[in-house]
């Protein structure tokens, strides 16, 4: 288990599952959670057949999570491409302590995930809508 300079430690499985998503394209998305307020662990690993709605619905309404999503799209050149999004999910309805713990642990965790293209912080569903995701890819995605 890697130690975090501040915030929670990152369980080695987190990076291993991320590598399966990033390099081997085995998963569509992964969610991560804090265990006992001390360690970031894998929460859910979801296969490539999952939809973006499946992802949005996997995030809890009243608790924080980290997530990586491999977003597939068609470029302006008509080529299928993917970009990996790291999303720090911190809904307004989550407990303040939870939001603080997730915020203090995110930087170290993000640095361990090489190959992430877009980093986002979201506090409600509108900030992770498909339109919000596409806005981050503006200029690359076919309209």
Tell me the domain boundaries of the chain: 9-136
pTM score, whole prediction: 0.92
Residue pLDDT, tens place only, 72-83: 999 999 999 999
What does DSSP assign to residue 139?
T
Q: Residue 142: pLDDT band by 50, 70, 90 thresholds?
A: confident
Measured from the Cβ of residue 14, the count of other Cβ atoms closer than 10 Å reads 24
| Helix extents (H) in 1-143 | 12-22, 52-58, 96-111, 130-136
Is the pLDDT reported for residue 1 higher than 70?
A: no
Residue pLDDT, tens place only, 33-82: 999 989 999 999 999 999 999 999 999 999 999 999 999 999 999 999 99
| Helix extents (H) in 59-125 | 96-111
| pLDDT in the model for residue 117 | 95
Q: Residue 6: pLDDT band by 50, 70, 90 thresholds?
A: low
Residue pLDDT, tens place only, 82-115: 999 999 999 999 999 999 999 999 998 999 999 9
CA distance 62 to 12: 26
Tokens read off for 47: 């296969």
Is the pLDDT reported for residue 7 higher than 80?
A: no
- CATH class, 9-136 region: alpha beta
CA distance 95 to 139: 37
CA distance 93 to 97: 12
């Amino acid at each position: 288990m890697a130690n975090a300079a501040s915030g929670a430690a990152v369980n080695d499985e987190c990076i291993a599952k991320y590598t399966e998503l990033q390099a081997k394209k085995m998963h569509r998305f992964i969610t991560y959670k804090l265990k006992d307020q001390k360690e970031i662990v894998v929460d859910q690993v979801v296969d490539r057949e999952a939809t973006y709605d499946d992802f949005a619905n996997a995030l809890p309404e009243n608790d924080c999570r980290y997530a990586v999503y491999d977003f597939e799209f068609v470029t302006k050149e008509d080529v299928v491409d993917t970009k990996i999004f790291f999303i720090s999910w911190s809904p307004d309805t989550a407990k303040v302590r939870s939001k603080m713990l997730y915020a203090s642990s995110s930087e170290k965790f993000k640095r361990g995930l090489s190959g992430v293209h877009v980093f986002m912080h979201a506090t409600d569903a509108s900030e992770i809508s498909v339109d919000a995701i596409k806005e981050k890819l503006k200029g690359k995605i076919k309209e």
